A and B are shown apart, each in its own frame.
Chain A
């Protein structure tokens, strides 16, 4: 049968085109690759090539004709001794709209799409510790180190890679002792190549290893964010579930003290935005251990956002190689009935201080540590708001499209009728973090700012 030449779709958005000129005439012999016509699309003038050898049998549409819908026959090529009479019928009249090129399928969106729902995973409760469970007092730094060491003892495929993680024992001494115990094969110093390490880690994870990639701070991970998002987070989905990426990216996040704008950024909201990633931000030593161990065992890419100013804070940590906390569960740090404070990482200091301070004045605050930012445990927040009817969110990150904004959306959607006051956010100010001591303090959340916000939602005079 003669080969039909149709108005081609030449870009992802093209719906119709114009034949600017024919470069062949009826009766011409052509080879595959020869230009038949010049087609004007919405973007450019493109040459239309013959897909096969043959003879130009018939030019159906005249040069200069515009608005020819994609898929309309515009010419016929004759092959091996075919004749013009083999062209079956006159071309069909130009359809108004190109027919849908796909077999019909249900256009019905999944029921859950009425309200945008984040991708979910099943989340267990915290493990119950027996009353006589052995505890030890440890800093967050030591708890993180033990988490890695225990998981490395348990699983040969776990390794730690990053700048200064081995011989220097970590820029913040988090990897202290690991090189001695596990050797240079599994505790690997790298050149200063954040992008390269992130990508190399992703490849190693694709091949079945479990890398723990340390960023000296998450500020430098912006060099690597393409690999974290485009490769680590998306490949499982893009491959239809064939490729998995069990990797941990960890390091200190957020403001330290007086290191200015480029070294002080809070990336909580950035990574929490990404489907395919899990994000945790532990506050206590016990949570740091339980969540990092969970992150290493998780078959998905997990970001562990630590905080430099919390590294030396000590607290009780369960002595157990299997102290694994669920990723995606918030924790109530302080129960209360008058107002809910929701925060994570170091901003919880301000929340707990504010709660203690207002307690003396008869205001009973409930303080929730989110611990995980993706999955985000909105259920715990909503249950609390249903009890207290007032909500203050506190975070170091910028206000626009932040964690507090996300929580506000969830609460107004699920617990609108329970709110007795508008939700109030305490955030880092909308400015690159300044260096000067006074300006830096002004830009970050503080106990005073949290107290003010609590007074606002409680309609109190401060």
Chain B
């Protein structure tokens, strides 16, 4: 971590700044449009394998991205396109990864589920449900090990499904025991693949899952970016100040199926439609911005058009990009460096 002349130690104002609100509209739209385009390219057979879309959940990563400090790390599971975009990675390289092309963030070797950008403090992109939770706790361990007065916080995301995994509780215990600077974000989108929270969890208030370890938790309206921002800011401050982990359960919703091959028989179409029409995080923010006169319809349209163009260009350029050279097949298995240091 390079030292900057003036290092931010913690953001404090719980209200989002006006320019952050307007840029959030752009950032959320960028994720939405990216996922729509990814869905189309999957349908065209251009994207292979598994593809888990983030549409509907954009306020969560975007609000947290506005509240975090640049060196705070993020790590998540396989529904990771929104997270890496929120870390500021070029949509071109993300789309190229989805397409399995040479310019992909992981050189085409990881695909949809395995996005990484260590320079931007994004640690992936993990395919085994719950496995990123001890790893994120380990990032926090490393932050604490450095004995910085204002350590970076590891923002560790997982879903309502992963919240039932054993290793999550092993991690909670160690994080609380050693007061590690970690913020656990449970993105509760109501369905673990096709199983609703009610059918899988004895205690459905997932924010209380850390209680027996003394970890404070709170439920947040994950469709409301301002609520996400305010709660994250407070939780980040808690974790950074040496008080140990914090849990935020973001109540959110995914519009798409679990993956592209989801027949979606476990929920009613009206439910999805109702969420899209009445609780959409992007539309809600747009109405607020217009109401508060921070943006007008014309400006909104301009942002929409810009985002559309950016994603079109990214997608078209990625489609032109070559597949990885065959010489890439057997590289990156080991670090070819003897006895560093």
Q: Quick check: B40 and A202 within 8 Å, CB to CB?
A: no
Q: Quick check: B333 and A199 within 8 Å, CB to CB?
A: no
The yes or no answer to A130 lying at the interface (CB within 8 A) is: no
The complex places the Cα of A309 from the Cα of B156 at a distance, in Å, of 41
The yes or no answer to A207 lying at the interface (CB within 8 A) is: yes
The complex places the Cα of A414 from the Cα of B323 at a distance, in Å, of 34
The complex places the Cα of A206 from the Cα of B154 at a distance, in Å, of 12
Q: Quick check: B167 and A299 within 8 Å, CB to CB?
A: no
Of the candidate stretches B21-29, B216-224, B259-267, the one touching chain A is: B259-267
Residues of B in contact, count (CB < 8 Å): 80
Q: Quick check: B134 and A124 within 8 Å, CB to CB?
A: no
The complex places the Cα of A324 from the Cα of B339 at a distance, in Å, of 9
Q: Quick check: A105 and B167 within 8 Å, CB to CB?
A: no
The yes or no answer to A458 lying at the interface (CB within 8 A) is: no
Q: What residues of chain A lie closer than 8 Å to B166, measured between beta carbons?
A: 195
Q: Quick check: A299 and B135 within 8 Å, CB to CB?
A: no
Contact residue among B50, B134, B323 (Cβ-Cβ distance under 8 Å from A105): B323
Q: Which 5 A-B pairs have the closest CB atoms?
A: A203-B138, A199-B134, A196-B170, A240-B107, A8-B43
17 contacts between A and B (CB under 8 A): A44-B263, A102-B323, A121-B334, A124-B338, A159-B145, A193-B174, A195-B167, A197-B170, A197-B174, A198-B134, A199-B131, A199-B134, A203-B134, A227-B131, A239-B124, A240-B116, A300-B334
The complex places the Cα of A196 from the Cα of B116 at a distance, in Å, of 22
Contact residue among A43, A195, A324 (Cβ-Cβ distance under 8 Å from B134): A195
Q: Quick check: B45 and A101 within 8 Å, CB to CB?
A: yes
Q: Quick check: A239 and B114 within 8 Å, CB to CB?
A: yes
**Contact code string A12-46 (vs B, CB < 8 Å = 1, else 0):** 10100000000000000000110100000101111
Interface residues of A in 195-244 (CB under 8 A from B): 195-209, 226-227, 230-231, 235-244
Q: Quick check: B45 and A98 within 8 Å, CB to CB?
A: yes
**Contact code string A268-299 (vs B, CB < 8 Å = 1, else 0):** 00000001101000000000000000100111
Q: What residues of chain A lie closer than 8 Å to B335, measured between beta carbons?
A: 236, 241, 244, 246, 299-300
The yes or no answer to B44 lying at the interface (CB within 8 A) is: yes
Q: Quick check: B138 and A201 within 8 Å, CB to CB?
A: yes
The yes or no answer to B330 lying at the interface (CB within 8 A) is: yes
The yes or no answer to A93 lying at the interface (CB within 8 A) is: no
Q: Quick check: A202 and B107 within 8 Å, CB to CB?
A: no
Interface residues of B in 298-341 (CB under 8 A from A): 320, 322-323, 326-327, 329-341
The yes or no answer to A108 lying at the interface (CB within 8 A) is: yes
- Please judge, given known A-B contacts A9-B42, A155-B341, whether A238 and B139 are in contact too, CB under 8 Å: no
The complex places the Cα of A102 from the Cα of B100 at a distance, in Å, of 10
Q: Quick check: B134 and A227 within 8 Å, CB to CB?
A: yes
- The A contact surface, by secondary structure, is loop
The yes or no answer to A85 lying at the interface (CB within 8 A) is: no
Q: Quick check: A207 and B263 within 8 Å, CB to CB?
A: no
Q: Quick check: A71 and B45 within 8 Å, CB to CB?
A: yes
The yes or no answer to A109 lying at the interface (CB within 8 A) is: yes
Q: What residues of chain A lie closer than 8 Å to B20, measured between beta carbons?
A: none
The complex places the Cα of A196 from the Cα of B104 at a distance, in Å, of 31
Give the one of A121, A203, A299 with max B CB within 10 A.
Answer: A203
The yes or no answer to A462 lying at the interface (CB within 8 A) is: no
The complex places the Cα of A108 from the Cα of B326 at a distance, in Å, of 8
Interface residues of A in 1-16 (CB under 8 A from B): 6, 8-12, 14
Of the candidate stretches B201-209, B268-276, B285-293, the one touching chain A is: B268-276
Interface residues of A in 157-171 (CB under 8 A from B): 157, 159
The yes or no answer to B246 lying at the interface (CB within 8 A) is: no
The complex places the Cα of A35 from the Cα of B268 at a distance, in Å, of 12
The yes or no answer to A320 lying at the interface (CB within 8 A) is: no
